[in-house]
Structure 1
Amino acid sequence: MTTNAFIQQLQAAVRRLQTVVETELQPLSNEALNFKARPDSWSVLECLEHLNRYSRYYNPAFAKALQSVGRPASVADIGYSWLGRKSLDIVRPGNGKPSKTVKHMNPAGSQLGRTVLNEFLLNQRELLRLLDQAAATDLNRKVVPVEFFRLLKLRLGEALEFVVLHETRHVQQAQRAAQLAQATAPVLVV
């Protein structure tokens, strides 16, 4: 896939995530946003806080990678390394395997409020701005250190796709948590 098509696909996915959060999750009550079906599951807000923690690392890392002078975007297809393919397979929304998160990225047990939703939407706007910038660079030549082990690096294109797939996976998890919260909400009989 060429750089332009790749960037457009990622931008469309980010816009869909924004829409889901604005239309399906923001209107929920505080109780629904914090509802957990099981003690070891995440609430809607925990899912989004997890993504906010990743954005706090990756958005500045993308900005730094895009800041350095490099070659302009090429018409070459986006390339993938072994590490990139493996990382993408792990976070792909269709991958039903649960995966452990590193401790500092795990929001379980946090006291969270609606500010998590606002921060998520701000992070998405910033990601869209970074994707606009990325359209003008060679995504195969620039690299971004992996958050949990910074000696490992992903190509910029791989890292951008990783973040968008990871966000998609956890927004879907948040939607499932919201559905469970609404299904178990007590019904007021008058």
Structure 2
Amino acid sequence: MKAVNQGQLLEKLEAEVERQLQETIKVFQNLTEEELLKPAANGGWSIAQCLAHLNSYGDYYLPRIKAGLESQRDVSTAETYKSSWLGVLFTRMMDPATGKKKYKSIKEHTPPTELDAYAVVGEFVRQQEALLAYLRLCQKTDLGSIQIPISVLKWLHLNLGDILQFLVAHNQRHMCQARKSVFASAGQ
């Protein structure tokens, strides 16, 4: 794992979160409840379920990111950032470009079939806006100095930089899944 410029990494993550947020606003917010709740043609999750799954991760990680940032207010910013091997592995597993294998969601992150679709989309927008705000705050901290337990193994901690990269890649993976449902329902 080579060191990267921390500012450039944060700009890249921020641009991807902004892209996901804009796609949600332009596409998913304009779908009917029926379209949001329609199961995928392959029997997979509906669009609302994809976003509810992501919301469950946001429910876990966003408060921990906020607390980590608040605890490090007086830490100087690092110029470079180096991911851990485990952080790289988890991020690559979730990244749509490198993680082609399908994974079964653990029970606590498996979305129900009965959902308030509009509330799910609204919560996802709120969470993406919060993530953007935290990414901007990260410009004033050292991404390697904050440790956060991962949601599936709370005894295992990754540094904030690895958590952010995983979270954005995981969101990207399920946004692709939701996008496929949109195209399938539109007959494309």
1:169-188 equivalences under 5 Å are 169-183=173-187
Q: Is the partner of 2:154 in helix, strand or coil?
A: strand
Aligned match of 2:144: 140
1:100 to 100, 104, 122: 104
Whether the aligned pair in 2 keeps the contact of 1:45 and 1:117 (CA below 8 Å) is yes
Whether the aligned pair in 1 keeps the contact of 2:54 and 2:171 (CA below 8 Å) is yes
Q: Is the partner of 2:30 in helix, strand or coil?
A: coil
Flag structure 2 segments of 5+ consecutive residues without an equivalent: none
Structure 1 residue 38, shift from structure 2 partner:
4.5
Q: Which amino acid aligns with 2:180?
A: R
Whether the aligned pair in 2 keeps the contact of 1:32 and 1:182 (CA below 8 Å) is no
Aligned match of 2:126: 122
CA distance in 1, matches of 2:124, 2:158: 23
Whether the aligned pair in 1 keeps the contact of 2:93 and 2:100 (CA below 8 Å) is no
CA distance in 2, matches of 1:156, 1:111: 31
Give the TM-score normalised by the residue count of structure 1.
0.91
Q: Which amino acid aligns with 1:10?
A: L
1:1-190 equivalences under 5 Å are 1-38=4-41, 40-69=43-72, 71-76=75-80, 78-94=81-97, 95-183=99-187
Whether the aligned pair in 2 keeps the contact of 1:7 and 1:135 (CA below 8 Å) is yes
Give the TM-score normalised by the residue count of structure 2.
0.92
Q: Is the partner of 2:156 in helix, strand or coil?
A: strand
1:116-159 deviation digits (Å, cap 9, x = unpaired): 11100000110011111111111012111101111101111000
CA distance in 1, matches of 2:187, 2:33: 15
Percent identity of paired positions between Structure 1 and Structure 2: 30
CA distance in 2, matches of 1:83, 1:110: 35
CA distance in 2, matches of 1:88, 1:56: 19
Whether the aligned pair in 1 keeps the contact of 2:56 and 2:109 (CA below 8 Å) is yes
Structure 1 residue 20, shift from structure 2 partner:
0.7
Pair member with larger Rg: 1
CA distance in 1, matches of 2:38, 2:146: 41
Flag structure 1 segments of 5+ consecutive residues without an equivalent: 185-190
Whether the aligned pair in 2 keeps the contact of 1:144 and 1:154 (CA below 8 Å) is yes
* RMSD (Å), alpha carbons: 1.5
